[in-house]
Amino acid sequence: MDKKTLGLLVTEALLIVVLVVVIAMDFNKAPLEEHAASPDAATEAAVEEKAVAHEEAAEEKAEAKHEEAVEEVAEEAAEVKVAAKEEKPAEAKAAAKEEKPAEVKEEAKAEAPAAAAGGGAVADVIAMQASVYDKHTKGIVQFTHKKHAEDYKLTCGDCHHDDSGAPLADLKMGDEVIGCAECHSKVGKPEKDASAEEKREFHKEALHDNCIDCHKDYNKKNNTKDAPTSCGKCHPKTK
């Protein structure tokens, strides 16, 4: 065999070896690329869940910020109205008070349950209307007393408490009770650095502290959003 023929054979052998190596590399690379391009289901689920949670948090934050701004404007307007009213002469105040119909005065006491005198039936729905306000800036909450007691299994002590804040565990349906505004009688907005106890002296703060915190606990415990926690879901729109 001459040298030229031998050289051709060696060259062909090298080409075959190189071709085999290239094919082997492509074969090993394909599964890796396929695996890298396809994250496992658990990772996809975690990313999707995180995105949903982030979106819900952003929506709740935006809604709370909007409601707080609306509430502040309404409170400022109410304070201005109160200040203007206080500037009237004492005679004008007395005359305006005498002109107020008796039925309006009675309606302002509607926050107290129907069984305030004791021994009577409690209304299924109670209008949370308090006489401490000259005018309510939001729609009156219609508290579904029967639904909370029977469907949601709340006890009397979950809402009604003594002067130290302890639940009235022995209270029974129809027993004498007093309205929230009898003790939580302040209106307006507490100071920013006020303590929790000082804030609860304000009627609005006391009710929100009791109702909204209970609703949040219910939603968290049952993984739901059924219990309302925003203004518009409890206060009906007014004309």
Range of lowest pLDDT (33-37, 44-48, 176-180, 227-231): 33-37
Higher pLDDT: 87 or 42? It is: 42
| CA 57 distance to own-chain centroid | 11
pLDDT of residue 22: 74
Q: What does pLDDT average to over the chain?
A: 75
pLDDT of residue 143: 92
Higher pLDDT: 67 or 200? It is: 200
pLDDT in tens, 89-106: 455 445 444 444 444 334
Higher pLDDT: 77 or 187? It is: 187
| pLDDT band of 193, cuts 50, 70, 90 | very high
Q: Residues 128-135: contacts with CB within 8 Å, 24+ apart?
A: 128/207, 130/179, 130/180, 130/181, 130/203, 131/105, 131/181, 132/181, 132/185, 132/186, 132/187, 132/203, 133/78, 133/187, 133/203, 134/78, 134/81, 134/82, 134/85, 135/78, 135/81
| pLDDT band of 195, cuts 50, 70, 90 | very high
Percentage of the chain modeled with pLDDT above 70:
65
Higher pLDDT: 38 or 227? It is: 227
Measured CA distances, 136 to 12, 14, 108, 152 (Å) = 97, 94, 10, 28
Class of domain 101-239: alpha beta
pLDDT of residue 42: 65
Q: Is the pLDDT confidence value at 46 over 60?
A: yes
Assessment of whether the complete model's pTM goes beyond 0.75: no
pLDDT in tens, 110-139: 444 444 434 457 899 999 888 899 888 889
Summarize the confidence of residues 11-28 as an average pLDDT: 77
Domain ranges of the chain: 101-239
pLDDT in tens, 205-222: 999 988 999 999 999 999
Higher pLDDT: 64 or 123? It is: 123
